[in-house]
Amino acid sequence: MTLYVLRRPHAEHMAREKDHEFLLLYADWLRAATDVGPEDESRIMELANFIYTSFVGMLNQWLAVQDADLFAQAMENLIRAGQELAARSLPKRSPKRRQA
């Protein structure tokens, strides 16, 4: 969709809006983790952007080559890299308690 919209005059704002909305979805899921707080916002956005942009690239590759093994390998690498980035950039703390 992004590539389609970018080829339309005066529709670039739609691509930016779509990108922003998807990024926020990723960030919202990361914010739901039990061991992050408001003080982690900049790191959450950094991690969300890394995961989102990596996954978009993986989807583009899948559309081009449709290689399930390659996609699975890339997904495993993304998960591992995301976990390592989170471990380095987000402080370790006790999980916050969820209200029942």
Is it the case that residue 11 has pLDDT exceeding 70? yes
Token duo for residue 30: 């990361």
- Flag whether 68 is in a domain: yes
Task: State the Cα–Cα distance between residues 2 and 16, nearest whole angstrom.
Answer: 8
Average pLDDT score, the chain: 87
- Flag whether 95 is in a domain: no
- Flag whether 99 is in a domain: no
- Flag whether 4 is in a domain: no
User: How confident is the model at residue 94, as a pLDDT?
Assistant: 58
Domain count, the chain: 1
Task: State the Cα–Cα distance between residues 80 and 5, nearest whole angstrom.
Answer: 33
Residues of the domain holding 40: 15-89
Task: State the Cα–Cα distance between residues 61 and 63, nearest whole angstrom.
Answer: 5
- Flag whether 22 is in a domain: yes
How confident is the model over 43-62, as pLDDT tens digits? 999 999 999 999 999 999 99
* 15 within 8 A of 6, measured Cβ to Cβ: yes
pTM for the full predicted model: 0.79
- Flag whether 20 is in a domain: yes
**How far is residue 66 from each of residues 4, 7, 26, 55, 96, measured CA to CA in Å?**
21, 25, 24, 15, 41
Task: State the Cα–Cα distance between residues 65 and 43, nearest whole angstrom.
Answer: 33
- Flag whether 100 is in a domain: no
Confidence of residue 6 (pLDDT cuts 50, 70, 90): confident
- Flag whether 7 is in a domain: no
Three-state SS sequence of 4-38:
HHHCCCCCHHHHHHHHHHHHHHHHHHHHCCCCCCH
How confident is the model over 52-92, as pLDDT tens digits? 999 999 999 999 999 999 999 999 999 999 999 998 887 76
